[in-house]
Amino acid sequence: MSHLRNIVILTGAGVSAESGIDTFRDANDGRGGLWEQHRVEDVATPEAFARNPGLVQRFYDMRRAAIQTKQPNAAHHALARLEAQWRGGTVTLITQNVDDLHDRAGSHNLIHMHGEHLSVWCTACDTRHRWTAPLIDGPACPTCARPALRPDIVWFGEVPYRMDDIHQAMRDVDLFVSIGTSGAVYPAAGLVRMARDLGAQTLELNLERSQGSAWFHESRFGPATQVVPVWVD
Ligand code: BJW
């Protein structure tokens, strides 16, 4: 990798799978998109929240509690190590994951494009707060006191966070690496094509071929805890 300066890494649910966090499109019964017994569309859309806020808040409270018991794995640690040791360029980590395992492993140049579980967003006064207690009873915002807190998660139909920062990082990318994502959800799934258009090398590390596999110069298949440390080291 010595001739490469700027690395952009996109991670998805597969990087956290071996920490015990279910992926979205694999851990189901084959009907596609089932997630903890709920269809993704029933809980991960603004319409679902408007229709049944209690169900959605309960669902996220349950997932927050579960995530806090999980630990970063060898793949998260390897990516944090890469950022700490990389010289002569930048390592930008864009994650679609809403867990905090990259943060806890020590990654700093990190973009949570689909939001974060441990953050809540007040839609009344547009402030963000750290989640501390279940949201099911519609608690008041600490800033404006209105009961308008929602999970700070990018649902289908909403614009992912920090798109300007993502485009900025992509402008200078020499190597684009996609890890543990199915390539099914846009705009994240389109980044590999953008990288190709900009002349970058592209590498996929995944358990199996993803939907965008044809866009990668190279693919390496296996569990993230094995293939990521081998690639980094
Ligand atoms: C392992 C492993 C191991 C397993 N080791 N690997 C039609 C065409 C194109 C686009 C659209 C369309 N209709 C609608 C859209 C847009 C829509 C979209 O993409 N829909 C698709 C379903 C088609 N996208 C949006 O709405 C987005 N917003 C948007 O487009 O705004 C417009 C706009 C954008 C930009 C500028 C201006 C305007 C928003 C998307 C929000 C996604 N939100 C979710 C839910 C979060 C809720 C929560 O977590 O609580 O984010 S959906 C869900 O999918 C979650 C994930 O981040 C995301 C991606 O999933 P991921 O990470 O890829 O997981 P899986 O399960 O799919 O794959 C896991 C992979 O890991 C697999 O490949 C396994 O093999 C592998 N794996 N174990 C290594 N051990």
Which domains are present in the chain? 1-20+72-114+161-233 (3.40.50.1220), 22-69+118-153 (3.30.1600.10)
Lowest average pLDDT, out of 67-76, 145-154, 224-233, goes to 145-154
Does ligand 1 have an atom closer than 6 angstroms to the CB of 206? yes
Lowest average pLDDT, out of 36-40, 77-81, 184-188, goes to 36-40
Of 94, 99, 83, whose CA–CA distance to 22 is shortest? Answer: 99
Distance 46 CA to ligand 1 centre (A): 16
Residue type, 80: A
Does ligand 1 have an atom closer than 6 angstroms to the CB of 18? yes
Does ligand 1 have an atom closer than 6 angstroms to the CB of 117? no
pLDDT tens, residue by residue, 207-216: 999 999 999 9
81: CB partners within 8 A, 6+ apart:
232
Question: Does the interface predicted TM-score (ipTM) exceed 0.90?
Answer: yes
Testing ligand 1's pocket by substitution, the residue of 16, 118, 186, 226 carrying the most ligand atoms inside 8 A of its CB is: 186
- Distance separating alpha carbons of residues 44 and 64, to the nearest angstrom: 15
Tokens found for residue 3: 């001739």
Atom 72, ligand 1: residue with shortest CA distance? 182
- pLDDT, position 59: 83
Ligand 1 atom at shortest distance from the alpha carbon of 156: 26
pTM listed for this prediction: 0.94
Distance 145 CA to ligand 1 centre (A): 33
Q: Give me the chain's average pLDDT, please.
A: 90
Of 191, 142, 135, whose CA–CA distance to 163 is shortest? Answer: 191
Tokens found for residue 222: 């296996």
Identify whether 3 is a catalytic site residue: no
User: Exposed, middle or buried by CB within 10 Å (0-12, 13-18, 19+), for 148?
Assistant: middle
Tokens found for residue 175: 């190597």
Does ligand 1 have an atom closer than 6 angstroms to the CB of 158? yes
pLDDT tens, residue by residue, 18-60: 999 988 876 544 445 556 667 776 778 899 888 888 888 888 8
- pLDDT, position 2: 57
Does ligand 1 have an atom closer than 6 angstroms to the CB of 182? yes
Atom 34, ligand 1: residue with shortest CA distance? 159
Ligand 1 atom at shortest distance from the alpha carbon of 223: 5
The residue-averaged pLDDT of 150-158 equals 93
Atom 47, ligand 1: residue with shortest CA distance? 44
Q: Which residue has the tokens 């949201």?
A: 135
From 76, 77, 112, 114, the catalytic residue: 114
SS3 220: strand
Distance 114 CA to ligand 1 centre (A): 9
Does ligand 1 have an atom closer than 6 angstroms to the CB of 79? no
